[in-house]
Structure 1
């Protein structure tokens, strides 16, 4: 993990930027933390009471770890972009939520004898066998193993999922050879799947649902997983009221995703070359979300998960321009969360009390910092769009003005906080530098005035709402 983030890297990130070396620091730190999380999980399982993790479960975890290790040590023939390794599977964004859920489940199960809790933990731990099997198959290691399909589905991460006729638990024997796997279930025809290069696997069986990927963001980039199958792709509940749950895409929806994605790189370039650079460095998978009621007017919903570094969760993007803006927005949250894991920026108490023009509810200091940081990047993105794409200038100036005024409304609170550490103050000061740098290219007359009137009205409504909720009952 990072022992220290160099000042030049901290300055770049404070300005919502980040060159290849700076972004590589964040990626390496997050990848190292993922490996440590997995090690902590395996150690916790090994030390768990036999009533929580049985000797049979512990032995299977050790066997799976040995298979993963063999897969990592196996020399694979290089494909056009290099063959994925077992370590790549561990570092895949959605492996993080799974590992954290297992670790928390072991902790909870130690204090309870609830059968439902024990079953959930057993199902979660068994997912490690699927991770190991996929890694070994990708490495070309011949093996035979048994996995269990739970509730009618066996998920093989990055390959696809097998549907079983019964909805209860079914044992599936997997025979893997070079480039293919045979899935055997009692009383059903065998299903043979053929591994694609990098992501996905195809089969002629209707029982098999392949994992899908979009083309690389650029011609040189690896395919981008569009993961609507992984059982750990979202948390048990939405993060906030504007976020929906996961969805499974049909062919028509996948085409809409492809159409929007195919133009995203070009739009990112118009908002600054650094926006495409950070997307190529940080983005590892896309997770489709349902469109929540009323969200189409807002362009949909999107989110990141701190434990799933590199994943972007979003409803179907309507256009390439909207997709690019979502990428810019959410990757700032990913960058700041990764930086906060390595550097203590503030010591805020977590109490929600600050006004944020983009939210109706009070925000804690960390939430205010996260929101301001993402909106500052969007202001920069849309200002560059307005200057580089004359045909889209009017709309881009409107967006720029709204975001910049919103950031300006909260920057004094961020800068003046006594909770900032020395490194946090340096970071926030660089946010101010980026904010003031935009003055070199002001928006046309009228845009700023309308944005200021909007934020003023929002502040008035927020103040009235807070006053009414804190007034003593009469």
Structure 2
């Protein structure tokens, strides 16, 4: 399996903060190929790792065989030439339903965690072995869900951990048992029966797309939002997957923790989401097509606390994870306009992260020494590049909004946002361009960013907004120098 290359014209498109449909498809294909290679590495590594018991490795092979059967069913609906468990194909299962499931963003963090567990030198550590066994149990649930989606009849034993068994794209069974609980799963003709000791059977009725229903309080169906475009698939709003944030702790670079939504929160998500496509289109036609091409799932986070008189949570946060391509993590969006900007910001990060895996942009070390007006602490070069690229995308988005907005108040707000983001990027570009650590491809990319920034500046901004933006950045720089100048000077010595 060959990883795609990133041609010069595609890198130029990305440097302009956009990307044609061909370039966006290229980024997705790179990540999809890497995902399948990682999953194959998990399968191969389980048979050799000292941390993986013979029983766990055997179960993983059985799960893979079930996936290959499901692949054969989706690729050959009349039963012709199904794959076998002994297939030596490096890509593994690739039927439509199976591939979609294996490329689900949140299986990426699971696969990376498994590889770290398999590569651990602490083979005799019982805790590590238990963690690895628990992680491998999740793949059994993935295989069962994808096989059921493909219409394969089966009877397998799954395991619920910490009171929950998640079946990706279907939902979750709540056992309310703190210890690991065996769950027998039997699928026949679109009905998935879940049996566990001392409890009534839960019969799950499968549906197309995302979600499945059951007449049981123990079952929580998965939830999805409508596709951004008329022909787009639904976007999972995944508040169930156990790997949706960094495993072992609720926080990820200062984010709030994951949250399971109640009906009221799902309604708030739907209200904001319903206007997001329109809001994206106002920021340039490419923003909507970009989101439709790259966004595969949303992960809700708890609303972080904010400064408010009533003491309630009013803040917001969002992120992407490099190992979870296609996922955007976000607290409940207050409205469609705000969430559209969040998607622009996070998808800029996602695009640059993929480009950076396809080509080497720089050879800088990880020392945090650069001023970034959007962060209070010094940033490493790569962090500065990521932040400047995301803010350049936001400047482009709000400039389009300002130029196309008919309402004076909203137009004024958009110009204010543009002026601040544009000025912030201006403060970061000298350090980016002046670095000797840039590769030839990296210099091409950064110089296109500079050209894009200059072209944005050719359009006059209302003077009051331009002045406020300059003063904002100057104040941020003064405060940063007071706090960090000595530490940065020492790091260079």
- 2:406 matched to which residue of 1? 390
Residue pairs, 1:220-259, within 5 angstroms = 220-236=231-247, 237=249, 238-241=251-254, 243-259=255-271
State the shift of 1:87 in Å.
1.1
**TM-score, normalised to structure 2's length?**
0.91
Helix, strand or coil at the partner of 2:187: strand
**Is 1:149 aligned to residue 160 of structure 2?**
yes
More displaced stretch, 27-36 vs 125-134: 125-134
Residue pairs, 1:15-414, within 5 angstroms = 15-49=16-50, 52-75=51-74, 85-108=97-120, 110-236=121-247, 237=249, 238-241=251-254, 243-294=255-306, 300-391=316-407, 392-414=410-432
Helix, strand or coil at the partner of 1:47: coil
Distance across 1 between alignment mates of 2:125 and 2:133 = 13
More displaced stretch, 421-430 vs 292-301: 292-301
Asked if the contact 1:401/1:447 (under 8 Å) is kept, the reply is yes
Distance across 2 between alignment mates of 1:87 and 1:470 = 47
Asked if the contact 1:299/1:318 (under 8 Å) is kept, the reply is no
Asked if the contact 2:303/2:332 (under 8 Å) is kept, the reply is yes
- 2:447 matched to which residue of 1? 429
State the shift of 1:220 in Å.
1.5
**Is 1:466 aligned to residue 484 of structure 2?**
yes
Distance across 2 between alignment mates of 1:471 and 1:107 = 38
Helix, strand or coil at the partner of 1:323: helix
State the shift of 1:165 in Å.
4.0
Alignment partner of 1:417 out of 432, 435, 456: 435
Provide, for residues 131-179 of structure 1, a one-character-per-residue CA deviation record: whole Å limited to 9, x for no partner. Answer: 1101100000111111011121111111111011432111111110222
State the shift of 1:38 in Å.
0.6
State the shift of 1:422 in Å.
0.3
Distance across 1 between alignment mates of 2:486 and 2:352 = 34
State the shift of 1:186 in Å.
1.8
How many residue pairs are counted as aligned between the two chains?
Answer: 464
Helix, strand or coil at the partner of 2:30: helix
- 1:10 matched to which residue of 2? 11
Helix, strand or coil at the partner of 2:119: helix
Provide, for residues 365-387 of structure 1, a one-character-per-residue CA deviation record: whole Å limited to 9, x for no partner. Answer: 00000000000000000000001
Asked if the contact 2:74/2:97 (under 8 Å) is kept, the reply is no
Asked if the contact 1:299/1:322 (under 8 Å) is kept, the reply is no
State the shift of 1:194 in Å.
1.1
- 2:87 matched to which residue of 1? none
Instruction: List alignment gaps of at least 5 residues for structure 2.
Output: 78-94
Helix, strand or coil at the partner of 2:195: strand
Helix, strand or coil at the partner of 1:390: coil
Provide, for residues 8-32 of structure 1, a one-character-per-residue CA deviation record: whole Å limited to 9, x for no partner. Answer: 1110001110010000000000000
Task: Go from structure 1 to structure 2 and tell me whether the alpha carbon gap of 1:114 and 1:75 turns closer, same or farther (over 3 Å shift).
Answer: closer
State the shift of 1:301 in Å.
0.2
Distance across 2 between alignment mates of 1:13 and 1:72 = 35
Tell me the C-alpha RMSD between the 2 structures. Answer: 1.8
More displaced stretch, 66-75 vs 414-423: 66-75
Distance across 2 between alignment mates of 1:15 and 1:74 = 43
Asked if the contact 1:260/1:323 (under 8 Å) is kept, the reply is yes
Distance across 2 between alignment mates of 1:107 and 1:2 = 24
**TM-score, normalised to structure 1's length?**
0.95
Helix, strand or coil at the partner of 1:18: coil
Distance across 2 between alignment mates of 1:403 and 1:262 = 26
Asked if the contact 2:67/2:143 (under 8 Å) is kept, the reply is yes
State the shift of 1:107 in Å.
1.7
State the shift of 1:185 in Å.
1.1
More displaced stretch, 404-413 vs 54-63: 54-63
Asked if the contact 1:76/1:140 (under 8 Å) is kept, the reply is no
Asked if the contact 1:76/1:139 (under 8 Å) is kept, the reply is no
- 2:459 matched to which residue of 1? 441
Distance across 2 between alignment mates of 1:295 and 1:223 = 35
Task: Go from structure 1 to structure 2 and tell me whether the alpha carbon gap of 1:4 and 1:219 turns closer, same or farther (over 3 Å shift).
Answer: closer
More displaced stretch, 307-316 vs 64-73: 64-73
